[in-house]
Amino acid sequence: MKHFPNLFSSASLGKVILKNRLIFGPHATSLGCDGKVTEELIAYHEARARGGAGLIILEGATIHETYAYPEQFIYLGSDKCIPGIKKLTDRCHQYDCRVIGQLFHAGRAVRISLDGSQSVAWAPSEIPDERYRIVPKEMPREMIYEIIEAYSEAALRLQKAGCDGVEVLAGMGYLVAQFMNPSTNQRKDEFGGSFENRLRFLSEILIKTRAKVGGEFVIGIRVSGDELDGLGLDANDMLKICKTIDDKQLVDYFNVIASSSATPFGWIRVFPPMEIKPLYAAPFAKEIRKNVSRPVILGGRINQPQEAEKIISEGVADFCAMVRPFIADPEFAIKAESGNSEHIRACVACNQACVGHRLAHFPVSCIQYPESGREQIYGELELVKKAQKVMVVGGGPAGMKAAIVAANRGHSVEIFEKSAQLGGQVLLAQQLPGREEFGGVATNLAHELQATTAITHLNQEVTAQTITEFAADVVIIATGSVARKADLDLDEKTDIVYAHDIIENNKKTANSVVVADWRCDWVGLGVAEKLAQQGCHVRLVVNGFVAGEQIQSIVRDAWIAKLHRLGVEITSFARLFGSVENSVFFQHISSHEPLVFEDVGTLVIAHGYYSNSSLMDSLKTFNGHLVSIGDCVQPRSVEEAVLEG
């Protein structure tokens, strides 16, 4: 029986035939170096090609010195990029996986620089945005023509490097979109004013590129079907643009997403966290597809092969582009095609190790699958020559991952969890409103564990004596963390509740709540949201400069939006100091002035965690091979736990 017959049917993009409809979508990886492709980047893409992707669209590569930044991007402005890309395309072609390169210029959206100083940002007009907050410099006409030429030269280099095509990033509020948008393009020359003039920049790029690369090479554009930020191009604008480009036969395909880099609202949708519904860009792709003659690719939160199959079978789009699902599971396609879709390690849209790493200029990875982006180090698991008896204590993410890796390497593994369920802190996190999807981390790891030879023991508290009696060759301690209590001058008459008791529904609060959030992570945000949803008046008082300071910025911004809608009042820079009955005192951490909160019915304390090292401490005299990993070493996040596992 053929699984997902539509998804795994071949189809053409221009003159190139793809073996299936699954595309590893374009995304910056920070795996390149000095503007060039590295072995790490090749291994990363080869893993997805081997895993069954029909096409890889490479990361947005820069093309001109006005936005080059070779420390952060592959740079196509010189021939030096060609050998590396050639190696990458050759390796992917081995698996009948096609490769298209993406061309990128951010225009006014510039934050990076070579040395920490602010570099000059060039744009169609001197109009600033709400994210980068710089007034860009207007491009002179000669520069515009030079950049158009640079796009076509870059496309030619991709062709010389063996790519099957080129995609111009014309969406997300970046340079091409800035030309198309009347509110960011107020030029008086042939590139501004009328619709045709505003489209001239893109049209000229496509015409020049076709002239250089010939008719066989695929040319596509990535567009935002709607920039979704209220200030950018909307669905009607984009439909008109796509129809015009299609009528002029300038492209072989349209790659549709829905987002913009220009405002926080639009930016959240560039890297949609779990609050954003799956397939959020589908209505725009569907409408564009109805109105153009070329194939349409849909991207954004397509998480499961069932969803992708539906998109193709219902005619919403011709291809599905997925980024994070392939980061989380390089074998997404092969598993779906072979009827093993239940083994797919589904992405939970947490953004932590993929987007989070990239925005901090570290190589992309995945909290669930740290091998991602580290293929050169962990790519192939080596089987051991002599199996050892391994005892893992603790069934959270760290313990599960350690057990999986050890068992897959051929060791004899038993894992012990004191509660009735595997998952550790993830089980707590998934109980917060809108965070159910995060539970997938525990489910996926438990599923992987089940597929190994490791034996799982639930409801089993382990002591130093049990460990000695078990006589393992290696004992891995992954006992996690425990809530940290506040050692403060708090009045007994103040009603005090700890955050984890709110998450687990162990305690109730009064209507007026102050949440004192020292750690500034998901706990304070989640508890504030939960209580506000229950109708409480919530004041969230955080120790950092912004609520959620410690978590990935897009997840944070989306969460702050939810709290704003719920009327949660947020105060920053505040250290919990003490309380007297219904008054709670904080100290401003940069001015040292007092902050007093009156009429507090309940004070909820979110003061982070301590490592649970009691078992480790009781093993001081144990002389076997002992290793501790994850939160019991130091409380951090799931990412570090799984990585150490």
Ligand X SMILES: Cc1cc2nc3c(=O)[nH]c(=O)nc-3n(C[C@H](O)[C@H](O)[C@H](O)COP(=O)(O)O)c2cc1C
358 binds, among ligand SF4, ligand X, none (CB under 5 to 8 A by kind): ligand X
**Minimum distance from residue 347 beta carbon to ligand SF4 (Å):** 3
- Contact string (CB under 6 A) for ligand SF4, positions 299-328, x = contact: -------------------------x--xx
**Minimum distance from residue 443 beta carbon to ligand SF4 (Å):** 12
Stretch that binds ligand X, among 11-19, 24-32, 77-85, 381-389 (CB under 6 A): 24-32
**CB of 228 closer than 8 Å to CB of 266:** yes
| Rounded distance between C-alpha atoms, residue 202 and residue 353, angstroms | 33
| Rounded distance between C-alpha atoms, residue 529 and residue 322, angstroms | 30
645 binds, among ligand X, ligand SF4, none (CB under 5 to 8 A by kind): none
169 binds, among ligand SF4, ligand X, none (CB under 5 to 8 A by kind): ligand X
Annotated catalytic residue within 75, 132, 174, 609: 174
Contacts of residue 577, Cβ cutoff 8 Å, sequence gap at least 6? 488, 489, 585, 586, 587, 594
The yes or no reply on residue 390 touching ligand X (CB under 6 A) is no
| Rounded distance between C-alpha atoms, residue 445 and residue 425, angstroms | 13
The yes or no reply on residue 354 touching ligand SF4 (CB under 6 A) is yes
**CB of 39 closer than 8 Å to CB of 8:** no
The yes or no reply on residue 60 touching ligand X (CB under 6 A) is yes
Residue number, 67 or 585, with CB nearest to ligand X: 67
Contacts of residue 230, Cβ cutoff 8 Å, sequence gap at least 6? 263, 265
Sign of CA dihedral 494, 500, 502, 508: negative
Beta-sheet pairing, 165-169 with 569-571:
unpaired
* DSSP secondary structure, 109-147, as one string: -----SSSSPPP-EESSS---SSS---PEEPPHHHHHHH
The yes or no reply on residue 358 touching ligand X (CB under 6 A) is yes
Q: Within 10 A of 322 (CB to CB), how many other CB atoms are there?
A: 28
**Minimum distance from residue 25 beta carbon to ligand SF4 (Å):** 12
Residue number, 121 or 366, with CB nearest to ligand X: 366
**CB of 447 closer than 8 Å to CB of 454:** no
**Minimum distance from residue 98 beta carbon to ligand X (Å):** 17
Q: Indicate which single residue of 28, 55, 81, 347 sits in contact with ligand SF4 (rule: CB under 6 A).
A: 347
Cα–Cα distances (Å) from 72 to 29, 173, 570, in that order, read 9, 19, 35
174 included as an active-site residue: yes
The yes or no reply on residue 503 touching ligand X (CB under 6 A) is no
Phi-psi category of residue 163: left, alpha or beta, with phi > 0 → left and psi -120 to 50 → alpha: beta
- Within 363-392, the residues that bind ligand SF4 by CB under 6 A are 366-368
301 binds, among ligand SF4, ligand X, none (CB under 5 to 8 A by kind): ligand X
Residue number, 68 or 551, with CB nearest to ligand SF4: 551
Measured in whole angstroms, how far is the alpha carbon of residue 14 from the centre of its chain?
Answer: 30
Three-state SS letters, 524-593: HHHHHHHHHHCCCEEEEEECCCCCCCCCCHHHHHHHHHHHHHCCCEEECCEEEEEEECCEEEEEECCCCC
**Minimum distance from residue 360 beta carbon to ligand SF4 (Å):** 13
Residue number, 180 or 322, with CB nearest to ligand SF4: 322
Q: Indicate which single residue of 22, 349, 551, 568 sits in contact with ligand SF4 (rule: CB under 6 A).
A: 349
| Rounded distance between C-alpha atoms, residue 331 and residue 529, angstroms | 36
Q: How many residues bind ligand X (CB under 6 A)?
A: 24
The yes or no reply on residue 354 touching ligand X (CB under 6 A) is yes
- Contact string (CB under 6 A) for ligand X, positions 212-241, x = contact: ----------x-------------------
Stretch that binds ligand X, among 177-185, 318-326, 512-520, 530-538 (CB under 6 A): 318-326
Residue number, 445 or 574, with CB nearest to ligand SF4: 445
Residue number, 70 or 548, with CB nearest to ligand SF4: 548
**CB of 232 closer than 8 Å to CB of 173:** yes
| Rounded distance between C-alpha atoms, residue 263 and residue 95, angstroms | 40
- Closest among 278, 159, 296 to 223, alpha carbons compared: 296
Stretch that binds ligand X, among 350-358, 376-384, 494-502, 607-615 (CB under 6 A): 350-358
- Within 278-317, the residues that bind ligand X by CB under 6 A are 299-301
Phi-psi category of residue 137: left, alpha or beta, with phi > 0 → left and psi -120 to 50 → alpha: beta
Note the residues at the interface with ligand SF4 (CB under 6 A).
Answer: 324, 327-328, 347-354, 366-368
Catalytic residues: 174
- Which stretches of the chain bind ligand X, using CB under 6 A? 25-28, 59-60, 102, 169, 222, 257, 270-272, 299-301, 322-325, 354-355, 358, 364
